[in-house]
Amino acid sequence: KGVYKKLVFTPDGKKLLGGILVGDNDEFAKLSATAKRPDLGGLTAEELLAGGTPKVEDGGDGTNLSNDDLVCNCHTVPKGVIKKAIADGADSFEEIRRCTKAGTGCGTCISTGPMPRILASTLKELGKAKGLTPAMPFEKKEIEELARLRSLKTFDALAAQICIPLDKIDPAILEQSRNLVTPLLDQLFNGKKKGAGLDKVGQLKALKKELWEFVDNMNCNPILVRLAWHDSGTYHKEIAEFPARGGANGSIVYEPEIMRGANNGLSKAVKYLEPFKEEYRLVSWADLMQMASAVSIEHAGGPKIAMRYGRVDVAGPQDCPGETTRGTGANAGLPDAEAPYGCGSHTAAGHLRNIFYRMGFDDKGIVALSGAHTLGRAFKERSGLVEQGYGEANACVFTTSNSLCPVRRDGKP
């Protein structure tokens, strides 16, 4: 089988000194901890070599590790240090990494090791609610990642590894956890879509929650707002027929529209939203983009926008408006970034009026829309009007990683 295991004991066979594992290192953490103990935890040398697990006072968390046993071998972090960090407020894998360095090496102490159980057990001891359920105090994406890395396809198999011992969990809480986690595993391993079984309203509600979490994690508010605006920006109030009138109809996801100069960089935003469209198939592209924009504005500290849904998508790229069909130059009626202006105006104000009066704006609306462009930043790869662009080396003084200028209103990185 390509597996070799050799263990070295003291002459009396009562203490493990070391060993070699080739081809299968699943027992490394257990054996490493055993080698640091004065005995074999009630086992014989033969039983340990055969895969037996020493009995250790673990405080009831099911890890079979004492507070002095190492959880993270890369940075020699024992269980006791991790439990103290959790008690001091490090209530997530991210915070534990930051406070103790545990999990910042190979990461197996989290992905396949005892860290989830330690976190779940310690939070229960503290009486602190966290994450998806009290039994699994982790975020959805963390549960999915733990299940994927451990190849655990059922709730019972996953719970047996990352929860506290199941006999210590209230049966009602365990059943609640089962009902919440099983759909995640179905999606992960069986290809079930997140929107499956939900009507359109249900899909919209679930989608909005996921978009909020995505924006909060990715800090992509500006580009999602820009995508929704540019999908809408082809609207012509004098054209009654759909889809010729343009507007928020999803046409921007297709070439040639997405490739036009005014839309430089927006293919990235479309890529961001493609997985959501795949999961929530009753929601149109047009609704998805407008919802993502509204969520982004609210998340950034703006108002909660009263939205209506039910927008219809164009049939395909053949319905993208022609580049010069709006009578205001190229880009299907989107404004030019600088002179000369395609609409023929000699002033920026005149150009903006020519563009946005066509959509039904008044001057007050134009000023509001123009001012809203301060959300986010400009890139030389997009508008081409600035020297700064992608990456740390091309960032401006306000957007480098060590800038003192806050990027988010809530202070998060």
Q: Which residues are designated catalytic?
A: 230
User: 27 CB contacts (<8 Å, ≥6 apart)?
Assistant: 5, 21, 51
Q: Tell me the pairing of strands 70-72 and 77-78.
A: antiparallel
Find where tokens 């673990």 sit: 58
With a CB cutoff of 8 Å and minimum separation 6, the contacts of 109 are 29, 71, 72, 73, 74, 77, 102, 103, 115
SS3 sequence, 292-349?
Answer: HHHHHHHHCCCCCCCCCCCCCCCCCHHHCCCCCCCCCCCHHHCCCCCCCCCCCCCCHH
DSSP for residue 42: T
Helix, coil or strand: residue 85: helix
Distance CA 340, CA 346 (A): 7
Which uninterrupted H or E stretch holds 115?
helix 115-126
What is the longest distance spanned by two Cα atoms in the chain? 95
Euclidean distance between CA atoms 167 and 112, whole angstroms: 22
Cα torsion 337, 339, 342, 343 to 10°: value is 100
β-bridge pairing 77-78 and 4-9: unpaired
Using the CB atoms, write b or e for 229-239: b if 16+ within 10 Å.
Answer: bbbbbbbbeeb
Q: How many CA atoms lie within 13 A of 168 on its CB side?
A: 16
